Every structure is written in structure tokens, then in C-alpha cells.
Chains A and B, each alone.
Chain A
Amino acid sequence: MNENNEENKSKIKSGFNVIEKISKKPVKAIAKLCGLYIILFVVILSMPFVFKGYVSSLLYDLNPFSIKQKAVESANNTADAFSTVKGVQVNKIPMNGVESIFNFTSKSQDNIQINVPKLLNYSPIFDDDKNRDVLKDAWVQSINQEKLKEETNNYEILYNSNVILEYKDGVTSSYDKINKSDLAKINKQTKGVLRNELDRTFINWCVYDGSYDVNYNYNEKNKTLDINGCGIFDNESFFGFKDGEDKVSLSFKKKGNNWYYIKNSLKVGEKVERI
């Protein structure tokens, strides 16, 4: 029995060996083929993940100005601007990839926003809100614009989430000394003044090139506002004139939060002639 068993075992073994020998070659071949494809597949799939960061940083480093840009950025240290005020936020919005490749300047950012929160004060020792404009001027005038222009294309300074300084596409604009609610008040008063002084009904400012043809010049020293513009009047005199356009200029003076018309400052000229 034992001998038979052993014989059987050896037979089985040899059988396995044969199967192994036969199957090795095609399995190897198949494995080789499949393995190659799998490796290729994995590589292709992982390429965007691996190379995305690498390629963009490579492109940035290939830019001959990248060292200069980094040096300017670290020298400026814009993130530290107004850091004494708690909660100041400096947002840096970078250029897009194509822009940064062909960016042969020292500028590394597209836009920088410096957002200064409101300076709080609950103590009666300071009437800080009365002199808000002084504080806004302080922020605006203290910005080293030349240094910022070296670093970024555009920039914005916000105080109390109100844009007080903006540099965009080469144009600097500061905050308005007259806000919108003031303007509405002034326009309303202007209508009243014109009706009282001239007995003519003022309809509105002329529209020229899609905006009202009127200029407001605020003189901070004298606290006076000069208005120069073209007004549309409803002429209901017995001569039978139709609606007319006339040059209008008048001045207001600011006292506290109110605007007062300066007497005899109203001048209404002849018809406006445009070329």
C-alpha cells in the first residue's frame, strides 16, 4: 500500500512539473504584455497629478525674472502691511500660467488687496468717527505706491471694506469725498434752488456719452462743493420755448452732515453747444 501511495505521489508531482513547465512560457509572455500596459496606464493616469505642480513651478523657475520677482516680494513683505491692526488681511491674487511665463517684469502678482478693518474705539476720550476722512487720508497717503507697483499689476486698499485706494490698469483712483447719499441730497437741493431762483423747472442733468454731464468738485479746505454741468429745463414761458439745455454752475457748503447753498453762486449760462 505504501509503495503504491508513493508511486502515486511521484506521479502527481511529475504531472505538476509538466504543467508548470508548459504553462510558464505563455504566462510569462502574458504577464510581460499586461504588465507593460498596466505600467503605462498607471503612469498616464498619474501624470496630471505628479506633473501639475512640478510643471508650473518649472515654468516659473524657467522665467529669467523669477529670482528678481522673489527678491522684490521678500523685500517688500507686503503681508506685514498695517499688521499692528488686528485682523488685517493681505490677499495676493497671482497671475495665470500663461501670463507668468511671458512676464518679463519684477511683478509677481496680478492683484494685491490690503483690507484694514475699522479701528474700534468705545471711549469718549476720542471722537474718532467724526474724523473718519483724516484717518482714510492717513492710510491712502502712507501707501508706498512705487514699491507696490514693483510687485503687482493692480492693487486695492480697503478700510472698513470700503475701497479707499485703487490702482487698476495704470489708473489710480482714491475714494470719493462725497458719497452717494450726499449726492442724492445735493441733486434734490439743486432742483429746489433752481426753481426758487429762476422759476424754471429743472428736470435733470443732460446725458452725454452715457453718463450725466456734471462735475462735482469738492474743496476740502473750504468745505465747498462746486457743481458745473449741463441741465435740462422745462421752459414753460409764454414765448413757447421747448425743453432747453443750459450751462449751470452753483456751489454748496458743508456744515456737519448737511449741505447749504451759497447765496448768489448760481449762474445759468446760454445754451450748450456741442461740436
Chain B
Amino acid sequence: MKEYKVNKKLITFLTVISIGITIYLAIITLYSKTEVTRSLETQIFPNVKNLKVECVPQTNRFNSKACDLIEIKVPSLASVYDDKGEKAKLANLVVNSEILDDNIEDWLRKSYNKEEASIMSDQIRILYRDNVVINDDFRGSNPLSK
């Protein structure tokens, strides 16, 4: 019966190793998520207040792209008080937000580089105020071949 005796040392070693790997992976995922989001925040329009950049990390570890989804929310450039509910009455009258919206959306569309975006992420969504300016999905097709 000696052969069936449990090797306690081996089992503790394996459990410790597996727990270690899980913790390592969790830390890596968390860190990479915050790191990518932070680096994107410092890269994309860093001098625009209230701009939100989010990187939803990859679930597939074999995918070389950093993010599953990059979402960039550009606020109204006319005033910080735009789209702030009750506070919107403080916004200036000097800038015509309607014309600015159209022009800035046009500018975002023209300056958007699809190839570079497809290298970084599977999907990209760019919003100006409440309008979706760009919504691209690169999964299942090679955008470079188009």
C-alpha cells in the first residue's frame, strides 16, 4: 500500500506553483490594462479636459493587439459646461457649438488613421459629445488588404 501514499511535498509544491501563476497572470492583466489606458491617455489629446480614453484588454492571450476595444470620448470643445445638465447655462454664447460639432467631427474623421488603429486594437469607437464619429471593427477581416 505504500505506493498509493500521497506525496505531500509534491502536492504542496504544485498548489503553490498554480496559485503563484494565477496571481501572476491576474497582476499582469490588471497592470497591462491600467498601463495601456494610462499611456493612451497621455498620448491622445492630453490637453483636452474631461477626455476619456478606455482600453478594454484582450481576453485572448495569443492576440498581439493590446486592446479588444479602444473607446475615446471627446467632450465638447466649446465649453467645459456643455452637456453638464443644470450647469449648461454657464456655457458661453460666443462659440457656436452646433457649427463646432460638425467641424470637429469632420476633423476627427479626416485625421483618423485606420491602419494604425487596426494595429493597436480589434475595435475602435470614437465619440464626440454624444455622437459616434467612428466605429470600426477589425475582427474577422484584414483591414490592410482592403
Give min CB distance, B90 to chain A, whole Å. Answer: 7
Give min CB distance, A145 to chain B, whole Å. Answer: 9
Q: CB of A85 within 8 A of chain B?
A: yes
Residues of B64-106 contacting chain A, CB below 8 A? 70, 75-82, 90-97, 99-100, 103-104, 106
Q: A126-B112, A135-B107 are known contacts. Are A144 and B93 too (CB-CB below 8 A)?
A: yes
Q: B78 to chain A: which residues have CB within 8 Å?
A: 81-82, 84, 142
Q: B91 to chain A: which residues have CB within 8 Å?
A: 77, 80
Q: A228 to chain B: which residues have CB within 8 Å?
A: none
Cβ contact within 8 Å between A147 and B103:
no
| A80, A114, A130, A144, most chain B CB atoms within 10 A | A80
Give bound CA distance, A134 to B106, whole Å. Answer: 8
How many chain B residues touch the partner (CB < 8 A)?
42
Q: A50 to chain B: which residues have CB within 8 Å?
A: none
* A: contact size bracket: 35 or more
The contact of B96 among A76, A78, A134, A143, by CB within 8 Å, is A143
Cβ contact within 8 Å between B47 and A76:
no
Cβ contact within 8 Å between A142 and B112:
no
Number of A-B contacts (CB under 8 A): 129
Give min CB distance, B110 to chain A, whole Å. Answer: 5
Q: A148 to chain B: which residues have CB within 8 Å?
A: 94
The contact of A126 among B46, B50, B108, by CB within 8 Å, is B108
Give bound CA distance, A119 to B113, whole Å. Answer: 17
Nearest residue, chain A, Cβ from B76:
A84
Cβ contact within 8 Å between A85 and B93:
no
Cβ contact within 8 Å between A80 and B96:
no
Cβ contact within 8 Å between B94 and A144:
yes
Cβ contact within 8 Å between A144 and B95:
yes
Q: A131-B107, A134-B107, A138-B107 are known contacts. Are A125 and B79 too (CB-CB below 8 A)?
A: no
Residues of A222-243 contacting chain B, CB below 8 A? none
Give bound CA distance, A122 to B49, whole Å. Answer: 16
Q: A82 to chain B: which residues have CB within 8 Å?
A: 77-79, 95
Q: A141-B103, A143-B95 are known contacts. Are A84 and B49 too (CB-CB below 8 A)?
A: yes
- List chain B positions with a Cβ less than 8 A from chain A: 40, 42-50, 70, 75-82, 90-97, 99-100, 103-104, 106-108, 110-113, 116-117, 120, 124
**A-B residue pairs in contact (CB < 8 Å), sample of 11:** A79-B92, A82-B79, A84-B48, A125-B44, A125-B70, A127-B111, A131-B110, A142-B78, A143-B96, A144-B94, A148-B94
A-B contact sample (19 more), CB < 8 A, given A84-B80, A85-B47:
A76-B93, A77-B91, A82-B95, A86-B49, A87-B47, A114-B94, A119-B47, A121-B43, A121-B44, A122-B43, A125-B116, A126-B113, A130-B111, A131-B107, A139-B100, A142-B78, A142-B97, A143-B95, A147-B93
Top 9 closest pairs, chain A to chain B, by CB: A138-B103, A142-B100, A123-B43, A80-B92, A124-B116, A86-B47, A122-B43, A77-B92, A134-B107
